[in-house]
A and B are shown apart, each in its own frame.
Chain A
Amino acid sequence: MPGDAGRANLTSSPANGPRTSRLAACLAGLVRRGRRALRGITGMPDYEAYLEHLRCSHPERPVPSPAEFFELYLESRYGGGTGRCC
């Protein structure tokens, strides 16, 4: 869930810190969510989201390197032959 991670990060930022750092954290959260949305729309791989998924659902499994994850992604996106429309 691209949106939820950003939100979680927002709430974990220092709530009683100086105003500017709160603003910076808020902006960083927005940028992160925007990037995730863009990745989702264009179908690009999302390494961070995959790590999050592993942490939540399969904490016992080894964590893949970015290169290994990219292999997995290519296989699931193009392995069966995804078409683009006319």
Chain B
Amino acid sequence: MRTLVWILIALAGAAGWAMLALARGETVSAAWLVVAAVGTYLIAYRFYSRIIARDIFGLNNRRATPAERFNNGRDFVPTNRWVLFGHHFAAISGAGPLIGPVLAAQFGYLPGTIWIVAGVVLGGAVQDFIVLIGSMRRDGKSLGQMAKEEINPFAGMAAMVAIFAIMIILLAVLALVVVNALRDSPWGLFTIACTVPIALLMGFWMKVWRPGSVGTASLAGAVLLGLALVGGRYVAVSPVLAPLFTWSGPAIAYALIGYGFVASVLPVWMLLCPRDYLSTFMKIGTVVLLGVTVLLVLPPLKLPPLTPFIDGTGPVFAGKLFPFAFITIACGAVSGFHSLVASGTTPKMVRQEEDARLIGYGGMLMESFVAVMAMCAAAILDPGVYFAINVPLARLGGSAAAAAETIRGWGFTVTPEQMHELARAVGESTLLGRTGGAPSLAVGMATLFSGAFGQHLLALWYHFAIMFEALFILTTVDTGTRVGRFMLQELGGHLWAPLGRTSWYPSIVLTSALVVAGWGYFLVQGVLDPLGGINSLWPLFGISNQLLASVALCVGTTLILKTGRTRYLWVTLLPLAWLLTVTLTASWQKVFSADPALGFLAHARQVADRIGAGAIEPGTGLRLIFNDRLDAALALLFMLVVVLVVGSSAREWILVLRKKKPATSREAPFVETAYAG
């Protein structure tokens, strides 16, 4: 009977893929996308994750977890597995899996969907799960510590550098997404600006006025957030207030930089902690809402499965299908960043070893499902509308009429009236060239939600979606700045001891300013870039994230090696080889490609020529050249770090395999659990 059910699930998944792959000329329902993805997840969870759980690591509920052994009622807490599943999912999910697929939709929905699903079951979920197991069996150690102890100190150091560099690029590119979504949008800016006083109010409530009453404060915060969202509509049409909240891109960028600094310097309870709660509510609520709506509406996909842009001529971002579809999807399939959470708070809360399978592997499957739904939301838009929103204005030709003409040249239709009407319906002045993925995702989500709950609410849903994205991106920005600050303080402590004191104010101010200046520089560079910045920064972010995943998979491979089950090494070596191929090819092309749209150095040469010809002002031109070279240097640094980590890990593996070095694992010794069966 059970076998029959699994055969049926496999057949349903296969039918889903077949419908997606074979449909030609007519639109396919999003239902097939969902069926294909969920069928694959179930099969992979049941059969593939079991190999990792049983055959490789031998997860054993008789073995006490760190949560049980070090239970302190605070960070080490044995937690119900479904609650921890939700907690872990909320910590790993962010803007990446929503925005990556929307951008990758320029190739059509099929390549992105295949990678989201195949990448997660063979790569992303494997990485998260193995890092979680490794950390759980080592008293909750971090990825950096495991790299240092299990591979060698050099790999540990390289992992630290990689994490810091990734953090800087990540924060810059996510902040850029927010800037592009909020510039010249009084409604959006008002709502997001309101979250700061709301968070302060919540902070004082739960810390000063009613110490510890977090639930009530959060409920009040959520209600106020709703009011701010509705209030934005009146701000947008008010002749007095609208100009006050209509800000240019650079103005918003500088405000975000200031905000990041203040949030990192203030005590956490004032701003950071309450915002963290607000964005967690929004995240979980919206993901559930999005899932339910897609299943309820099951809209037809209007985007073709493949577009002509797979040849590398795409206007949203440059580069061919291989390797750039894989770089762009980023977090929805494999995210190196998750290895930080899987070796951070989560391993300290796992109640029984076998729960790790649901939490580590299952949590990442859920994240991938969010990415599939984001792909649905992008693919239900008219292709013409999709490109009108996601292509930089400079590339579209500057005006609505020119944009319609340009898009017709690509083989899709959209009229200026259609774009004008859509912008009016969602309460914006224009939607043309709003790059970054967030606005087109919001239009897609608003279309879905209003399809399910009433047409007249389109504008409200659009701004709800924008608020939700901006809110949790800003939470990543403020927590990320703080994490960067801690890393710098730790590093600085080696140079001069007082710098390492995390509560010494001069050190806090100095290191916060350095971190903010780091990502702020790339943010401003992106905002001033005539091609919108996403073009050059998103691939850099994708590369860095996938490279961190490579580092995590090196650690994973070492962990498998040290269990002695060497015939399973392919479980991590397979995704590692693929990620290395993809990321090294992509970084190489970003640096050295002769196409100025793709290669940083070629673009610098093109700008130099244009300065010579007098077509571009020298001051602006020199700045563009400097930025191109900086981006190129960063891509080279990423390549160098990963080659060094993989090289030094491979040396260890060979030494151990040839028995020239004992396979000493730092696993904590077995302790029998006190829990009853």
Contact = CB atoms under 8 A, between A and B. Distances in A.
Interface in A46-83: 47, 49-50, 53-54, 57, 65-67, 69-70, 72-74, 76-83
A50 B94 contact: no
Contacts of A2: 79-80, 83
Contacts of A43: 87, 90-91, 276-277, 280
The CB with the most chain A CB atoms within 10 A, among B77, B272, B284, B335, is that of B77
A81 B483 contact: yes
A50 B73 contact: yes
A37 B92 contact: no
Contact of B480 (A47, A65, A83): A83
Interface stretch (B210-218, B250-258, B528-536, B561-569): B210-218
A86 interface: yes
A86 B90 contact: no
Contact of B93 (A1, A67, A79, A85): A85
The CB with the most chain B CB atoms within 10 A, among A41, A50, A65, A67, is that of A41
Contacts of B541: 86
B86 A84 contact: no
Interface class of chain A by DSSP: helix
Interface string A22-48: 000000000000011101111111010
Given A43-B280, A49-B73, A66-B212, A86 B545 contact: yes
Contact of B170 (A41, A57, A86): A86
B159 to A, nearest CB: 15
Nearest to B340: A83
Contacts of A82: 91, 344-345, 479, 483
B482 interface: yes
Contacts of A66: 211-213
A75 B83 CA distance: 22
Contact of B211 (A57, A65, A86): A65
A72 B337 CA distance: 27
Given A42-B277, A45-B214, A83 B341 contact: yes
Interface in B524-553: 541, 545
A86 B502 CA distance: 25
Contacts of B272: 78
Contact of B83 (A40, A79, A80): A40
A37 to B, nearest CB: 5
A65 B213 CA distance: 12
A44 B278 CA distance: 11
Nearest to A41: B86
A86 B95 contact: yes
Contact of A78 (B73, B273, B280, B475): B273
Contact of A70 (B95, B207, B485): B207
A37 B82 CA distance: 9
A41 B288 CA distance: 14
A13 to B, nearest CB: 21
Contacts of B83: 2, 36-37, 40-41
Contacts of A74: 268-269, 273
B313 interface: no
B576 interface: no
B96 interface: yes
Given A40-B79, A81-B485, A86-B174, A69 B277 contact: no
Nearest to A45: B214
Contact of B94 (A35, A54, A78, A84): A84
B72 to A, nearest CB: 8
B87 A41 contact: yes
A79 B267 CA distance: 11
Interface in B305-354: 330-331, 335, 337-338, 340-341, 344-345, 351
A73 B269 CA distance: 11
A83 to B, nearest CB: 4
Contact of A76 (B74, B78, B94, B284): B74
A72 B93 CA distance: 26
A67 B210 CA distance: 8
B75 interface: yes
B174 A45 contact: no
B472 interface: yes
Contact of A47 (B170, B212, B482, B486): B212
The CB with the most chain A CB atoms within 10 A, among B82, B96, B214, B338, is that of B214
B121 to A, nearest CB: 19
Contacts of B330: 86
B86 A86 contact: no
A11 to B, nearest CB: 16
Given A1-B78, A41-B87, A86-B94, A67 B211 contact: yes
A84 B75 CA distance: 16
B206 interface: yes
B476 interface: yes
A45 to B, nearest CB: 6
Contacts of A78: 268, 272-273, 482
B74 A73 contact: yes
B501 to A, nearest CB: 13
B5 to A, nearest CB: 28
Contacts of B78: 1
The CB with the most chain B CB atoms within 10 A, among A65, A72, A81, is that of A81
B84 to A, nearest CB: 7
B84 A40 contact: yes
A57 B82 CA distance: 25
A36 B77 CA distance: 13
B71 A41 contact: no
28 contacts: A1-B80, A2-B83, A37-B82, A40-B79, A40-B86, A40-B87, A41-B86, A41-B284, A42-B281, A43-B90, A44-B214, A49-B73, A49-B77, A65-B211, A67-B207, A67-B211, A73-B74, A78-B268, A81-B482, A82-B344, A82-B479, A83-B337, A84-B479, A84-B480, A85-B335, A85-B340, A86-B94, A86-B335
Q: Kindly list the 7 A-B residue pairs having the minimum CB-CB distance in the complex, ordered from nearest.
A: A66-B212, A67-B211, A53-B73, A41-B86, A81-B486, A40-B83, A86-B96
